């Protein structure tokens, strides 16, 4: 049996592999085409139309984009979203890095790791609602604590200066544990021998953080940043639940504006144009981040 025609058998098996591979890839490819590429193309097409869902879309060329460039609410939304991302990502990354390093250098308790992840298990909407109550101007325990300390009450969700920092920090609270865990996973790839060598050389904890941890963590940190920045740009639920874009336009982030244009004013064409703008912004930001952090390369070798 084993002696009969091994070459043809091998060739046939290889051909079978290709077919099998295609069969395995097909569902994912189909899903990608149907649920990602087709909506993307359709969204781009709709951005060149005037469409209210109820009557057929009408091609209007670049009219939506011209309107967008002259739309102060759009530019305000870009500014507000950028401010949110800067505060959210800035604080979140620093805090998460700190937690991750503490977990690495001080305690490796599984219980601690689980505890740090708990805020992430709370849904965005619930977290937002709870903070809305905690920080309520009149009834919130947060403001009552401020008053007890002899400070003035703060309209966390109701004053134009505080609303974006507040929302950004609420989301930091929810996401920092998750981010810390991702960074922690990256820290585990750094060989402990490095730290031993540093200690033998008499380096302090701070010195080894900046000379060993940071350079070796860079690729992981870069990827974490890219993913979290994309997520941060898409902030919607926290805003929708707490302020609905207010006071005035102080928290009218891009996603909320897109949503309002589409589902409250049935201006799907313009909303699509806004979405395309957001897509372009994210592509540019992601590309820059990738280049700056050199996330594709490692210094570990």
> In whole angstroms, how close is the CB of 179 to other proteins at the nearest point?
24
> In whole angstroms, how close is the CB of 27 to other proteins at the nearest point?
22
Residue with smaller CB distance to other proteins, 158 or 289: 158
> In whole angstroms, how close is the CB of 53 to other proteins at the nearest point?
5
> In whole angstroms, how close is the CB of 118 to other proteins at the nearest point?
22
Residue with smaller CB distance to other proteins, 137 or 290: 137
Residue with smaller CB distance to other proteins, 138 or 301: 138
Residue with smaller CB distance to other proteins, 53 or 292: 53
> In whole angstroms, how close is the CB of 130 to other proteins at the nearest point?
15
> In whole angstroms, how close is the CB of 85 to other proteins at the nearest point?
20
Residue with smaller CB distance to other proteins, 145 or 248: 248
Residue with smaller CB distance to other proteins, 36 or 287: 36
φ, ψ for residue 245 (rounded to 5)?
100, -15
What is the 3 state secondary structure string of the chain?
A: CCCCCHHHHHHHHHHHHHHHHHHHHHHHHHHHHHHHHHHHHHHHHHCCEECCCCCCCEECCCHHHHHHHCCHHHHHHHHHHHHHHHHHHHHHHHHHHHHHHHHHHCCCCHHHHHHHHHHHHCCHHHHHHHHHHHCCCCCCHHHHHHHHCCCCCCCCCCCCCCHHHHHHHHHHHHHHHHHHHHHHHHHCCCCHHHHHHHHHCCCCHHHHHHHHHHHHHHHHHHHHHHHHHHHHHCCCHHHHHHCCCCCCCCCCCHHHHHHHHHHHCCCHHHHHHHHHHHHHHHHHHHHHHHHHHCCCCCCCC
**Burial of residue 131 (number of CB atoms within 10 Å: 0-12, 13-18, 19+):** buried
Q: Using an 8 Å Cβ cutoff, are 49 and 59 in contact?
A: yes
The residues, any chain, with a CB within 8 Å of residue 83's CB and separated by 6 or more, are 164
Binding site for other proteins (CB under 8 A): 50, 52-55, 67, 125, 137-138, 155, 157-160, 236-237, 240-241, 243-249, 252, 259-261, 263-267, 270
> In whole angstroms, how close is the CB of 67 to other proteins at the nearest point?
8
Place of tokens 């569902």: 27
Residue with smaller CB distance to other proteins, 194 or 249: 249
Residue with smaller CB distance to other proteins, 70 or 192: 70
> In whole angstroms, how close is the CB of 245 to other proteins at the nearest point?
7
């Amino acid at each position: 049996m084993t002696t009969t025609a091994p070459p043809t058998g091998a060739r046939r098996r290889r051909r079978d592999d290709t077919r099998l591979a295609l069969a395995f890839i097909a569902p994912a490819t189909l899903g990608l085409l149907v649920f990602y590429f087709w909506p993307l193309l359709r969204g781009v097409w709709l951005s060149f139309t005037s469409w209210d869902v109820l009557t057929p879309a009408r091609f209007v060329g670049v009219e939506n984009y011209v309107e967008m460039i002259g739309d102060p609410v759009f530019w305000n939304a870009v500014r507000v979203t950028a401010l949110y991302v800067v505060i959210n990502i800035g604080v979140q990354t620093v805090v998460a890095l700190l937690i991750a390093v503490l977990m690495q250098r001080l305690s490796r308790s599984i219980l601690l790791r689980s505890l740090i992840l708990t805020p992430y298990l709370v849904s965005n909407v619930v977290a937002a609602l709870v903070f809305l109550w905690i920080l309520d101007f009149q009834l919130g325990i947060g403001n009552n604590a401020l008053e007890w300390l002899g400070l003035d009450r703060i309209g966390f969700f109701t004053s134009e200066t505080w609303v974006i920092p507040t929302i950004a920090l609420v989301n930091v609270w929810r996401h920092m544990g998750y981010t810390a865990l991702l960074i922690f996973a990256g820290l585990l790839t750094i060989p402990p021998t490095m730290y031993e060598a540093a200690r033998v050389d008499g380096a302090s904890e701070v010195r080894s953080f900046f000379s060993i941890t940071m350079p070796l963590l860079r690729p992981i940190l870069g990827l974490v940043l890219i993913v979290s920045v994309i997520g941060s740009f898409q902030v919607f639920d926290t805003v929708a639940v707490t302020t609905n874009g207010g006071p005035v336009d102080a928290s009218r982030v891009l996603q909320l504006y897109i949503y309002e244009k589409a589902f409250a004013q049935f201006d799907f064409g313009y909303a699509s144009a806004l979405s395309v703008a957001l897509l372009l912004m994210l592509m540019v930001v992601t590309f820059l981040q990738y280049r700056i952090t050199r996330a594709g390369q490692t210094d570990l070798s």
